[in-house]
């Protein structure tokens, strides 16, 4: 019932205006973001000084890594595919199952996750206070001794700076009609007419709602029960945050469990599982071409 209502609502809402809008920068504090950038790549934030955020979220290529599951401290393997940190500030919730309400909550959880970074955040704060150069850097910003809120805040400010502007598709939306190919334009029309847009929409082309993975075809080889793990409600089994499709060409493998490596296969899964329809190969190719036009520029702070 919830899904039917949601579909009717989406139809009326989405067809009234362009369902995707170009990315714009969001405000962030430059000094905090610069310090967050440094900490993002510093293993000082993990229990045994071996893993940094950048171990799993490579900033030079897509903001994720190219493996199915990531390795955290002591070589332990996680069970979910790492999503990109690029544009993650625009997501309505964080993580595949939405268990973190925002980026601050997310950062807190990952630092204390026994498989990923495995530390008590207070121990990291103690380490930072004893470090040679961090106390001064934090003091310059906060004028007081380092606290956990400061650590979280600088990481979040850095993440807010990671917006990838000027993807060819955004330039097209802004009126540059030659910014994308004819094939990509056809792909966008199909993306709308076949129904992908119902779930992947808004400025992040996803990241703004939950939906079931496996609507038309049972998704029975998923280990994670998705949103159910958070709410324990039967109707939330296999429900996940709809992922953003920005920079999707750079973020293989795909799906919460990294089950496929090519974009073409990802689109095929979507047509079978989510739309329950066959799609001609040439239409799949056009949609892939459209998806490739969603790759934006590396954020200014990283250049
Ligand atoms: C060991 C690998 C690993 C490390 C280290 C790591 N992450 Fe992640 N990150 C992941 C995985 C895997 C997920 C998805 C987990 C899930 O959804 O259950 C994730 C999810 C996220 C998300 C949510 C994105 C979204 O779209 O939901 C953000 C933001 C993020 N990480 C930022 C960070 C920051 C900041 C750090 C450092 C403090 C960090 N990560 C350290 C692997 C890692
Ligand atoms: C009913 C909602 C819905 C529809 C319709 C839908 N998707 Fe998805 N899409 C999702 C969800 C949910 C996921 C995450 C699946 C998972 O749990 O791994 C996803 C994942 C993806 C991914 C992988 C993203 C990543 O980072 O791993 C791609 C690519 C994708 N969709 C493209 C499409 C295309 C193209 C269409 C149309 C043919 C489409 N989707 C239709 C909900 C939808």
The phi-psi region of residue 258 (left if phi > 0; otherwise alpha if psi is between -120 and 50; otherwise beta) is left
**pLDDT band (50, 70, 90) for residue 280:** very high
What confidence score (pLDDT) does residue 114 get?
77
Mean pLDDT of 104-109: 94
Which residues 6+ apart lie within 8 Å of 131 measured at CB? 44
Question: CATH fold of 30-160, please?
Answer: Cytochrome Bc1 Complex; Chain D, domain 2 (1.10.760)
Cα Dmax for the chain: 62
**pLDDT band (50, 70, 90) for residue 217:** confident
Query: What is the Cα–Cα distance from 171 to 182, expressed in whole angstroms?
Result: 15
Say if 2-23+165-302 and 30-160 have the same CATH topology. yes
Q: Is a pLDDT exceeding 60 seen at residue 13?
A: no
Does the beta carbon of 242 lie inside 6 Å of ligand 2?
Answer: yes
Indicate which residue's Cα is closest to atom 41 of ligand 2. Answer: 196
What confidence score (pLDDT) does residue 17 get?
75
Mean pLDDT of 242-271: 96
70 or 251, greater pLDDT: 251
**pLDDT band (50, 70, 90) for residue 87:** very high
Query: What is the Cα–Cα distance from 261 to 249, expressed in whole angstroms?
Result: 10
Q: Is a pLDDT exceeding 60 seen at residue 60?
A: yes
Query: What is the Cα–Cα distance from 111 to 129, expressed in whole angstroms?
Result: 17
Q: How many C-beta atoms surround the C-beta of residue 142 within 10 A?
A: 15
> Is this structure's pTM higher than 0.75?
yes
Residue spans per domain, the chain:
2-23+165-302, 30-160
The least confident of 27-31, 156-160, 222-226 is 222-226
Q: Is a pLDDT exceeding 90 seen at residue 107?
A: yes
- 73 CA closest ligand 1 atom index: 1
Task: Compute the distance from residue 194 Cα to the ligand 2 centre, in Å.
Answer: 13
Q: The domain 2-23+165-302: what is its CATH number?
A: 1.10.760.10
- Pocket perturbation via mutation, ligand 1, pick of 74, 81, 82, 97 by most ligand atoms within 8 A of CB: 82
Half-sphere exposure of 80 (CA within 13 A, CB side): 16
What confidence score (pLDDT) does residue 18 get?
83
- Asked if residue 97 lies in contact with residue 237, where contact means CB atoms within 8 angstroms, the answer is no
């Amino acid at each position: 019932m919830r899904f039917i209502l949601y579909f009717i609502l989406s139809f009326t809402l989405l067809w009234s205006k362009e369902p995707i809008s170009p990315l714009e920068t969001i405000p962030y504090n430059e000094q905090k973001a610069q310090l967050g950038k440094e900490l993002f790549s510093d293993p000082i934030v993990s229990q045994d000084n071996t893993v940094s955020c950048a171990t799993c979220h490579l900033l030079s290529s897509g903001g994720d890594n190219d493996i199915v599951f990531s390795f955290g401290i002591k070589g332990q393997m996680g069970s979910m595919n790492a999503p990109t940190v690029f544009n993650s500030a625009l997501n309505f919730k964080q993580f595949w199952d939405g268990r973190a309400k925002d980026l601050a909550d997310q950062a807190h959880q990952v630092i204390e996750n026994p498989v990923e970074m495995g530390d008590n955040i207070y121990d990291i704060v103690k380490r930072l206070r004893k470090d040679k150069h961090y106390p001064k850097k934090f003091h310059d910003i906060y004028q007081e001794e380092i606290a956990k809120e400061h650590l979280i805040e600088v990481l979040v400010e850095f993440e807010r700076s990671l917006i990838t502007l000027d993807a060819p598709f955004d330039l097209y939306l802004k009126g540059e009609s030659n910014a994308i190919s004819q094939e990509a334009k056809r792909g966008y029309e199909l993306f709308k007419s076949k129904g992908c847009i119902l779930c992947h929409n808004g400025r992040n082309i996803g990241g703004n709602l939950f939906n079931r993975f496996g609507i038309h075809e049972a998704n029975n080889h998923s280990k994670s029960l998705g949103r159910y793990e958070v709410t324990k409600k039967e109707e939330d089994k296999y429900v996940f945050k709809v992922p953003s499709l920005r920079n999707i060409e750079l973020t293989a493998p795909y799906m919460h469990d990294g089950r496929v490596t090519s974009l073409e296969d990802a689109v095929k899964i979507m047509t079978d599982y989510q739309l329950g329809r066959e799609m001609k190969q040439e239409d799949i190719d056009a949609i892939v071409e459209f998806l490739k036009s969603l790759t934006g520029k590396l954020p200014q702070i990283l250049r």
